[in-house]
């Protein structure tokens, strides 16, 4: 099932895509797609809805984040082999973990707002994972059972703040608008293997990143299991799992986003994002 939320910021309504790719409003049955609606039992109940009987929504509406009430926004760094190579860094022995501010979350097609004075704002296409069941100290073999579904994400990054402001990555990752996710959440029953997904990011029509999640150093199962060893993962938590080669910082010369640029991201089955830089 593909679940989403639509409408103005702060007033989004729950919805789903029908078999023809049309948006169907679910607000008569579901208050919102909050963390308590991400359990396997509730997702099965949503699957049973006859979407053809739900109200149609115009396709030109604003799409918000696919989940409301996110409580933790966790990110993994340097998790693609070729990205580590372009960065001139060794493959990490364990996942590199940082957090992004919840206030950085935004809809998939919302504008990317350049921080004042920024000259090093960069793009990062990533596979997003949304937790459906509280996870503590889970093993790798069972980790995917705790995942409600997957979404497309752009881990927008201001490199000067990330690298040169005392080395704490979250500083460069947490500006407002730096966490677009969506357009929808694909439930895990429809995507049993997250390690086979093609992904591509373009800036102004030029392909900058093109890869597959098979190049991840640590798989989704390994990441969920690893995180759960030292933190409790809660329903609705969003994990972005690293970016492949082709970021602006890795270009020669380095290339960064400017006002007026258009960024387009696509991952198999997870849809497309289009962001204008302002």
Rounded Cα–Cα distance for residues 251 and 245 (Å): 10
- Pairing relationship of beta strands 179-180 and 105-106 according to DSSP bridges: parallel
User: pLDDT tens per residue, the chain (278 residues)?
Assistant: 999 999 999 999 999 999 999 999 999 999 999 999 999 999 999 999 999 999 999 989 999 999 999 999 999 999 999 888 877 878 899 999 999 999 999 999 999 999 999 999 999 999 999 999 999 999 999 999 999 999 999 999 999 999 998 878 999 999 999 999 999 999 999 999 999 999 999 999 999 999 999 999 999 999 999 999 999 999 999 999 999 999 999 999 999 999 999 999 999 999 999 999 99
Is residue 211 one of the residues assigned to a domain?
yes
- Pairing relationship of beta strands 198-203 and 206-212 according to DSSP bridges: antiparallel
Rounded Cα–Cα distance for residues 160 and 181 (Å): 23
End-to-end CA distance of the chain: 33
CATH of the domain at 206: 3.90.850.10
Angle CA 222–217–244, to nearest 5: 125
Is residue 146 one of the residues assigned to a domain?
yes
Token pair listed for 226: 């690893």
Q: Where are the beta strands (DSSP E) in the chain?
A: 2-6, 13-17, 23-25, 56-57, 73-77, 96-99, 105-106, 121-122, 125-131, 147-154, 157-158, 179-180, 185-187, 198-203, 206-212, 238-240, 262-267, 271-276
Contacts of 230 (CB under 8 A, 6+ apart): none
Quote the number of domains for the chain.
1
Is residue 131 one of the residues assigned to a domain?
yes
Is residue 110 one of the residues assigned to a domain?
yes
Is residue 117 one of the residues assigned to a domain?
yes
Do residues 106 and 177 touch, judged by C-beta distance below 8 A?
yes
Is residue 222 one of the residues assigned to a domain?
yes
C-alpha dihedral sign at 135, 141, 145, 151: positive
Q: pTM of the entire structure?
A: 0.97
Rounded Cα–Cα distance for residues 178 and 172 (Å): 9
Residue 211: per-residue pLDDT: 97
Phi, psi of 220 (to 5 degrees): -55, -45
Do residues 202 and 39 touch, judged by C-beta distance below 8 A?
no
Do residues 236 and 71 touch, judged by C-beta distance below 8 A?
yes
Q: Which domain holds residue 241?
A: 69-276
């Amino acid at each position: 099932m593909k679940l989403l939320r639509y409408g103005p910021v702060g007033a989004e309504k729950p919805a789903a895509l029908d078999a023809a790719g049309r948006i169907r409003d679910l607000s008569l049955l579901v208050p919102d797609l909050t963390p308590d609606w991400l359990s396997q039992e509730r997702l099965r109940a949503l699957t049973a809805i006859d979407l053809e009987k739900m109200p149609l929504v115009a396709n030109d509406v604003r799409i918000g984040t696919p989940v409301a009430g996110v409580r933790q926004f966790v990110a993994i760094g340097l998790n693609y082999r070729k990205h580590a190579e372009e960065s001139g860094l060794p493959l990490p022995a364990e996942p590199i973990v940082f957090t992004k501010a919840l206030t950085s979350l935004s809809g998939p097609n919302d504008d990317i707002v350049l921080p004042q004075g920024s000259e090093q704002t960069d793009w990062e296409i990533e596979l997003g994972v949304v937790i459906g069941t509280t996870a503590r100290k889970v093993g790798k073999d069972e980790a995917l059972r705790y995942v409600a579904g997957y979404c497309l994400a752009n881990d927008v990054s201001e490199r000067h703040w990330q690298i040169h402001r005392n080395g704490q990555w979250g500083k460069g990752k947490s500006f407002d608008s730096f966490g677009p996710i969506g357009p929808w959440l694909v439930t895990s029953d429809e995507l049993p293997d997250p390690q086979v997904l093609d992904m591509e990011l373009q800036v102004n029509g030029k392909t900058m990143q093109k890869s597959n999640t098979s190049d991840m150093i640590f798989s989704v199962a390994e990441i969920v299991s690893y995180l759960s060893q030292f933190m409790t993962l809660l329903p609705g938590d969003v994990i972005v799992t690293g970016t492949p080669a082709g970021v602006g910082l890795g270009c020669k010369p380095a290339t960064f986003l400017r006002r007026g640029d258009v960024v387009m991201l696509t991952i198999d089955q997870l849809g497309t994002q289009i962001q204008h830089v302002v």
